[in-house]
Chains A and B, each alone.
Chain A
Amino acid sequence: MTGLLLTVAIVSATVYTGEGPPLREATVVIDGNRVTAVGTGLAPPKGARIIDARSGIVTPGLIDGASRVGLVGVRLESQSVEGTLGPDADPVRAALRVSDTFDAASFVLPVARSGGLTSAAIIPQGGILQGQSAWIDLIEDDPVRRSPLALHVSLGSHGSKAGSRSRAFLRLRQVLEDTRLVNSNRGLYLSGKLRPISVSAADLAVISLALERELPVVFEVDRAADIRTVLQIARTYRLRAILLGAAEGWKVADEIAAADVPALVNPFENLPSDFDRLDARADNGLLLHRAGISVGFTLRGAAHFAPRLRQAAGNAVRNGFPYDAAVAAITSVPARIFRMVDTGVLRPGALANLVIWNGDPLELTSWPTRMLIRGREIELRSRQDQLTERYLTLPLDAPGGPGRADPGPALPSAP
């Protein structure tokens, strides 16, 4: 992407800054890739390119804190699925980095942008110690903002597809103990005199970063009992824990809050879809929020469904989640959970990732009309739009060619 970065002023907007109530009749000023000013009744600087929001709503670009965009093209075609290993691979693959295979040219990204998404934590899939996530902006040019972002651990029945949840917790404990052992006996380990350990050298390096609190650890876990165990493990090993899923989190909300652990939850999850989530409920996020926990919303590894993030937030509001907090849960909160400063917010100094909507961003009858990522305007046109345009008029078959199928004999009338 080329082109000069100019001063841009978005005027005549209701601005959700990602941090509290909206500013009416407001202006957002952008210089280069940063926001320089946000305020009601602000005059645009001289020479600025003016974008008239036409009384629309401006939000920070939406963020899913656990996404698979750019990692999955066609889910059932293994050649287009990345950030994972085959079913027979070692479930301990902490050294796997999704940024190695993230494809910013994926046709999924423009569709995700059509739902207002500008950034995501992209996550590995499968296994127990699944690998390392990355923070990306949804652009082709230099998309990765941080890699590694976090170490991902999947427990409960998710992480134990080949066995019991006991197996997943056991492997996690073995790996953590072995890493501690190696770190306090580096010399013996390097000279090959340490007892055999259960982890590769590459995995050890990553797990060490987690033990040193350099890398947060995202635990995908749902059952209340499993969440308790995770909180205890995080305490024992002094890990910077983040919960992903936490469908039964509401049952142990006070304990999660006391441990100061944030949670990424999917507001759609209200069914006992498996034995990890027998007590899932639609207002889980609300109950966690009320307990004082940082709650971000996620579609939990979605790629093609990425545009539904705002629908998820809308449903949380429908079930009692405060509106402003719901907007924050898909903008500033996931950024703060991963310590991506100046992201998911609109304030001076923040990265200029934003969306202009033609109505309430959580209502499904409105949609993004403009989008800026790092201060540059991105065309909101996906392959789906191209197909729709191509087929707006019919028929398409070339004249003189074989043409349309022979209509055949008359059909019996509809039963």
Chain B
Amino acid sequence: MTATGPTLEGADLLLRGSRIEAVGWNLAAPPGAHIIDLEGRFVTPGLIDPHSHLGVYPSPRTRAHADGNEATDPFTPEVRAEESFWPQDPGLRRAVAGGVTTLHVLPGSANLVGGQGFTLKLRPAASAAGMRLAGAPSTMKLACGENPKRVYGQARKRAPATRMGEIALLRSKLEKARAWAADPDHETADEDSDPATGKEPRDFGLRALAGTLDGRVLIQNHCYRADEMLLRLSLFREFDTRPRAFHHAVEAYKIRDQLAEAEVGAVVWVDWWGSKLEMLDSVPANAALLDAAGVRVALHSDSAYDVQHLNQEAAKAMAAGWRAGLEVEPEDAIRWVTAHPAWILGIDDRTGTLEAGKDADVVVWSGNPFSVYAHADLVFINGGLVYDRARPGSYRISDFELGIRSAP
């Protein structure tokens, strides 16, 4: 399943170095190639989770490692998830065992602007930098709705306490970013910054936020309700920008025509609902409805458990579409966990499909990937075999688990 069109049955896949060289029938293996006979098993692109907190809210859940929300101010555009990321999170290995090759790790949703996301490939490394997907565009986490006003208004008696407060604060912050960007001297002023002369130091936060206005930094906006998503769209229009995608977006199906028209993606669950009032109108057919309307829809986990079976989430989302009377093909649904999240992260030129020239991020499944019984048997990242189910030690357990975990 290439995630670009019809499923190619009985086909071959040629990987060379870190890239896919060819996909098709009767490919000639170059001399010396290592040949793996899949005997009719399914192959898909490596799965991509566009919304994860692995590494920043790792397992076990402890105060010591709760590094996902810099909840000291509603605006922290300068912080980067990469700089909280703990590469020894035991959840990372399990995500790979679920066929996930690329993660987008985000700061939490306590803040209106929570900081920069971290796009990575799931190869084990000593540091976050060693896992970074080089060249992936920067992303910025924004949040609206219940979380920021609960964290600040209700818990700390400071702004924002209401939804209108959230929008007003964000508008004034975006205005500052626009002014900063428009100031022809801002870069040189930075260079010359000197506390002795009163010149302002470099403002990394404003600089990052300004990037969301010119499209260099992709806005990933946590937002649930349809009306709030539309409010956000019109706010961003005031600044000639738009979000790359709304995340969670449980009511996106209600405005799928407008999201399609605005070319804004949607990152959704299948069956998460009801833990907050803004999550009440979630429907399992959300993804199928969005896809039918032409919205680039992706499924996300937001969970150290669900990231392990995104293929099952896609199966549920597809079946919910069928149950609602929509025509959904497996070839559509596979894109919800591969090609579409790649677009949402701005890395669709690199990964997310099985096409010549793309990174060799490939999963071999033990059976139909939409079956609950299917395992990821082999997982390749950048052409390297990082996980082989037949060899439990192939993706080593994290340092944390060493001497603690006795299970294989």
Contact = CB atoms under 8 A, between A and B. Distances in A.
Interface of A: 72-77, 108, 111, 250-251, 268, 270-275, 277-281, 303-305, 307-308, 311, 314-315, 317-318, 362-367, 384-385, 387-388, 391-392, 394-396, 404-409, 411-412, 414-415
A278 B406 CA distance: 9
Nearest to A396: B254
Contact of B316 (A277, A364, A407): A364
B315 A75 contact: no
28 contacts: A251-B406, A271-B59, A271-B304, A272-B59, A274-B61, A279-B406, A280-B407, A281-B407, A304-B273, A311-B372, A314-B312, A318-B375, A363-B315, A364-B315, A364-B316, A364-B319, A364-B372, A365-B319, A365-B322, A384-B283, A392-B325, A394-B254, A394-B255, A394-B256, A395-B257, A406-B234, A412-B215, A415-B137
B240 A412 contact: yes
Contact of A405 (B230, B284, B322, B404): B230
Interface string B314-349: 011011001111000000000000000000001000
B271 interface: yes
B263 A317 contact: no
B349 to A, nearest CB: 12
A315 B97 CA distance: 14
B218 A74 contact: no
Most buried by A among B282, B283, B315, B404: B283
B285 interface: yes
B60 A275 contact: yes
B34 interface: no
Contacts of A415: 137, 215-216, 218, 244, 346
Most buried by B among A251, A305, A311, A384: A384
B371 interface: yes
B281 A387 contact: yes
B262 A411 contact: yes
Contact of B276 (A75, A251, A275): A75
A391 B254 contact: yes
A303 B274 contact: yes
A150 B215 CA distance: 58
B261 A407 contact: yes
Contacts of B163: none
B204 interface: no
Contacts of B315: 363-365
Interface string B256-267: 111001110000
Contacts of A281: 407-408
Contacts of B274: 72-75, 108, 303-304
A77 B146 CA distance: 11
B178 interface: no
A405 B240 contact: no
B237 A273 contact: no
Interface string B365-408: 00000111111000000000000000000000000110011111
B370 A365 contact: yes
| The 7 residue pairs across chains A and B that have the minimum distance between CB atoms | A314-B372, A415-B215, A281-B407, A304-B274, A408-B237, A75-B275, A364-B315
A272 B404 contact: yes
Contacts of B309: 315
Given A405-B234, A415-B215, 4 more contacts: A304-B271, A317-B373, A365-B319, A387-B281
Nearest to B372: A314
B37 to A, nearest CB: 24
Contact of A270 (B94, B257, B276, B312): B94
Contacts of B258: 395, 404-405
Contacts of A406: 234
Contact of B283 (A271, A362, A388, A395): A388
Contacts of A72: 274
B25 interface: no
A interface majority secondary structure: loop
Contact of B372 (A76, A317, A409): A317
A272 B401 contact: yes
A272 B285 CA distance: 32
Contacts of A408: 234, 237
Contacts of B77: none
A381 B203 CA distance: 54
Nearest to A77: B277
A271 B318 contact: no
B405 A271 contact: no
Interface string B7-46: 0000000000000000000000000000000000000000
Given A272-B60, A272-B405, A304-B273, A318 B94 contact: no
Nearest to B309: A315
B148 interface: no
A305 B271 contact: yes
Contact of B405 (A278, A315, A394): A278
A362 B90 contact: no
Contact of A279 (B61, B234, B254, B405): B405
B233 interface: yes
A304 B322 CA distance: 22
Contacts of B293: 394
B289 interface: yes
A284 B281 CA distance: 35
Contacts of B90: 271-272
B324 A392 contact: yes
B125 interface: no
Given A318-B373, A388-B285, A76 B275 contact: yes
A134 B261 CA distance: 50
Interface in B194-246: 215-216, 218, 230, 233-234, 237, 240-242, 244
